[in-house]
Structure formats: C-alpha cells, structure tokens
Amino acid sequence: MRCVPADFQCRKQSFSNWKPNYILAKAFSFRLFLDSAYRYPEHDSKHDRDCCTAFHRLPTMPALWVLILTVLVWFTAKFLVIGKRQRGLPPGPPTVPILGNLHVFPTEFAHFKFTEWAKIYGEIYSLKIGPGTAVVLSSMAAVKELMERRSGSTADRPFNHMADAVAGGLNMVLAPYGEDWRVLRKAAHTILTPQASDRHLPIQKAEAYQLLYDLLVQPEGFYTHVRRYSNAVIMSVLYGKRSPRYETKEATAFFEAQHLWELALEPGAHPPVDLLPFLNYIPERWAPWKQLCKETRKRQQALYFGLLEECEARMARGVENGCFMEEVIQRQVEFGLRRDLVGYLGGVLIEGGSDTTSSFLQSLILALFAFPAVQEKAREEIDRVIGDHRMPELKDFSNLPYVRAILQETHRFRPVAPLAIPHATLQDEEYKGHLIPKGSAIFVNAWGIFHDPDVFEDPAVFNPDRFMKSEHGVKPGVDDRDYRSNFAFGSGRRICPGIHLANNSLVGTIYAGFENASSFPARRCSTR
C-alpha cells in the first residue's frame, strides 16, 4: 500500500456516516495526527484498525456536544472580558468588548479629552486599552500620594512597542525601571546638578543674545529661532559644539530624526502592535511602521554616536573643551555605563533639552503677544530694576518678582508636557478604595490640574499676578499644601533631571520675549 496516513484512511471510511465528533476528535488529536502521518511512513492495516478502534472509544455524541458548548462558552466569556473594566478599578467611560475605551481614546490633544472626563469621573479614573489599564490622575492630592509617596512602585514606564523597536530600551525617557535606566539616571543627575548647570551660563547668555538679534531682525521666524536657540544651548553644553544656524548640519540631523521619532510615537498612527503582537510577524516590506522604526533608529544612532566619536577623538588629541559628555566619558566606568549607553545618554539629553525648552519659549512669546498688558508690566519692572544702560543678568532675577511670576504662569498656562510622560505601576496599588493593578499606565493630567476652575481663577487667562498673590497661584482659600513649583517637570523618581539647566535657559531668554513680542505679526500667532 502507498504511504497514506492512517487517519486519512479512517476519515475516508467515515465520510459516508460523517459525525461532528470526528472533527472534534481530530481537532483535539491534531498532534497525534501529525505524528501518525509523518513519523510512521509505513502504515499497515493493523495501525488502521487500532486507529479506528481508538476513534470508536471516544465519548458519545451528547457528551461531546456539552464539551463543545462548554469550551465555546468559556472562550467567548474569556474573549468578551477583554476590554471590560474589572471590579475595583476606578470608574471611567463605558467600555466595549475587546477594545475597552480604545475606540474613544483621543489621538491628538488628549489632554482636552482627559480633562473633560475628569469633570465627569473625578480626580482618578480608569481607561481600558484592550486588556491593559490606564489610570488618569487629575488632582495634586492623588499625584502626591501615588507618584511621590509611593514613587517606588510608580516609577516604571508602560511598554511601547515602537519605542522599543527604535531605541531597544536605551532611551532613558522611555526605558523601563531597570538597571540600564538606573545607571543612565545616576550619570545624568551627577552631571546636571545646579552647580554644574551654572558653569554653562555663559553659553546660555551668548546664545540668548543671538536669539535676541534673530528675533529683532526676523521676527516672523520666531519658531525656528527659538528652536535653534534651545538646540544650540544643549549641543554646546553636552558636546561643546554649538548650532549657529537652524540649518547647521547636526541641528538639521537632530530635527529630522526627532520628526521621525515623533511620528513613530504618535498614538493611533500605527497598527496596535502592543495589543496585537502577531502584527510583529508581518514582513517589513508590508509594514510601513517597521520601516519608520528602522529609519529613525539609523538616524538617531548616526547622530548620537557620530557626536560621541568626535568628542572621544578630541579628548584623545588632548583638546578637551569642558563639555558634559567629556565628563561622562571620563567617568564611564565609575557610572557603570556601557558604550551604547554613553551614546544614548547624550542623545536623550539633546532630545530632552531641545524641544521642551523651545516649546516653553514659543508659548511664552505667544502669550505675551496675546496678553500685551502682561508684557507692558514686565517691561516696566525690567526698566525700573535694571534701567536701559545694560542687559539683564541672571543675578537680577531675584529682584524681578513679576518676571518670575510670568515663568510660573507660562508653565501653568501651557505646560510643555500636558500629560507628562506616562508612568507604570510595578505592583498592585490601592487609592481611596480603588484598585490600580500592577502594570497599569498612569497619566498625570497636568493640564487638567492647572486648568481646574475650582483651584485657579479664570484658568484660561494668562495672568501672572496670581503667582504674586500666592506661591502656587491658587484662589484664596484653596489648600495648596500638595502643590509644588516644579510640578511642570513631572513627579516621583522620573522627575525631569534637566530642571536646573532648563530653568537657566528659560531665565536667560525671557528678556528676549519682552523686547520682541510686540513686533510679531498677529496672523502668525495662536495661543492654542
């Protein structure tokens, strides 16, 4: 007899009196079928007989129907539970099976929707993203308790497939709370202390003067001038290499890589690989998101490691310039950094320091334009305290309370990161009777907190005077013990390590805004 799998013989025999339990038996004994078909090429009639006898020994039809139904019900129940809000979770918008709240999850300006939901569901609510859970905090009390007091268990970041495909966990901002993150963070802290940051003030001052000049000469280009400024500061501080123009080679390479990085991280712009991991098996030529990740990774690495190599070569020639990265390279062993981590540390600090500072300054300029009375009052204060015979210095800052209030109000009015960067929980947590399961993403709704009308008078108005009246700008009678002035820089163990450098940069340029905001053409300005 030709080699025909024994089960096939059985199937042929039973086709005439076909029974559904035969198919089920095949489904359950699929492995057996493969074994019998391929492990034993020669099948004799004895094997056929054995097989058929075994087949007839299977449970009778009613029992199998019960089994089928039970299995189907079990699978359906398991499947439909995906996306459902489990008992004990904080409340939230109604869910649909499988997706949870994914279908209503905002893909842009998420902070507006999150704040709308906060008005309905309160200071803590949950969103179901398929099987995963996200929790949104919209009060300082919740932030203080969960992000600060329990920072040890809320210091993780949610896994993001796209980020992982681009940076493989080496990007400190998005890295999980593990050993690589720890050594990166320690190195960043050591080199970004207030004293170390102050050493770089002359760079910030010189770049601020160029910014002033650029704004005077070409006010309509304020967007690129401000971006150049923040990039030039961070590049000089990190690598001792400034960006004199927006089109400088490294600045252009950074802005292009950053654009791709933003596209890669854009929520909802790519198939949900985190939710449906099998999408990962689609070959690259049919998966544009994979091509995007590859290109972003290539460009980031070319820039980060190119700059690192230049720095190393300069040090080898004995021509150090005192930049941050030289210190990192010298103390690499002490910090416990591998070379790939050194390269990524520099890159992440360019990312962290460039667009955050420039977004803040763009908001400041637009706010000064939209609220000219504020600008006038600030100019009056500067003229009174400094006069018109010299440029303002950082040391003047303590004598300029209204200018200081403007910085605080800009953080409140248009926070650079209105939802911060999501954290994730490392263990189950409980808050006011609500369960926050291990692995949940936690969004701090900074926008909602800063725009809460119960806390801030007319929150949609740019009014620095509120910070002249109370330390945190809150309405009279509001308990502000849970507030802190660096809240716009995040919270807990992941709080921004670049605060001091950032503050020096912002103070250095704030004067530029007063000098120039009145000359910007109105049509270019929007405060949204």
Q: Which is nearer to ligand HEM, 51 or 323 (CB)?
A: 323
Q: Which of 488, 507, 510, 517 binds ligand HEM (CB under 6 A)?
A: 488
Binding mask 355-374 for ligand HEM (x = CB under 6 A): -xx--x--------------
Burial of 188 (0-12, 13-18, 19+ CB in 10 A): buried
Distance CA 454, CA 115 (A): 13
Distance CA 296, CA 301 (A): 8
Binding mask 419-458 for ligand HEM (x = CB under 6 A): -xx-x-----------------------------------
Q: Which of 494, 504, 510, 514 binds ligand HEM (CB under 6 A)?
A: 494
Rounded to a whole number of angstroms, the minimum distance from the CB of residue 181 to ligand HEM is: 7
* Phi, psi angle pair for 138, to nearest 5°: -125, 25
Q: Please state, in angstroms and as integers, the Cα–Cα distance from residue 216 to each residue in 194, 402, 434, 475, following that order.
A: 31, 24, 54, 38
Span of 221-229, 372-380, 486-494, 519-527 interacting with ligand HEM by CB under 6 A? 486-494
Distance CA 412, CA 451 (A): 8
Q: Please state, in angstroms and as integers, the Cα–Cα distance from residue 233 to each residue in 13, 183, 211, 310, 505, following that order.
A: 81, 24, 11, 18, 8
**Which distant-in-sequence residues (6+ apart) come within 8 Å of 435 by Cβ?**
86, 88, 89, 428, 429
Q: Does 473 bind ligand HEM (CB under 6 A)?
A: no
Binding mask 327-356 for ligand HEM (x = CB under 6 A): ---------------------xx--xx--x
Rounded to a whole number of angstroms, the minimum distance from the CB of residue 172 to ligand HEM is: 5
Q: Which of 501, 507, 512, 517 binds ligand HEM (CB under 6 A)?
A: 501
Rounded to a whole number of angstroms, the minimum distance from the CB of residue 491 to ligand HEM is: 5
DSSP code for 144: I
Distance CA 175, CA 156 (A): 8
Q: Which is nearer to ligand HEM, 392 or 497 (CB)?
A: 497
Binding mask 75-94 for ligand HEM (x = CB under 6 A): --------------------
Whether the Cβ atoms of residue 494 and residue 182 lie closer than 8 Å to each other: no
For β-strands 132-137 and 423-424, DSSP reports them as unpaired
Rounded to a whole number of angstroms, the minimum distance from the CB of residue 495 to ligand HEM is: 6
Q: Does 101 bind ligand HEM (CB under 6 A)?
A: no
Q: Which is nearer to ligand HEM, 47 or 182 (CB)?
A: 182
Distance CA 123, CA 111 (A): 14
Binding mask 160-199 for ligand HEM (x = CB under 6 A): ------------xx-----------x--x-----------
Q: In terms of Cα–Cα distance, which of 166, 183, 168, 172 is closest to 498?
A: 172
Q: Residues binding ligand HEM: what is the number (CB under 6 A)?
A: 27
The letter for the amino acid at 285 is R
Distance CA 128, CA 82 (A): 9
Residues that bind ligand HEM (CB under 6 A): 172-173, 185, 188, 348-349, 352-353, 356-357, 360, 416-417, 420-421, 423, 488-491, 494-498, 501-502
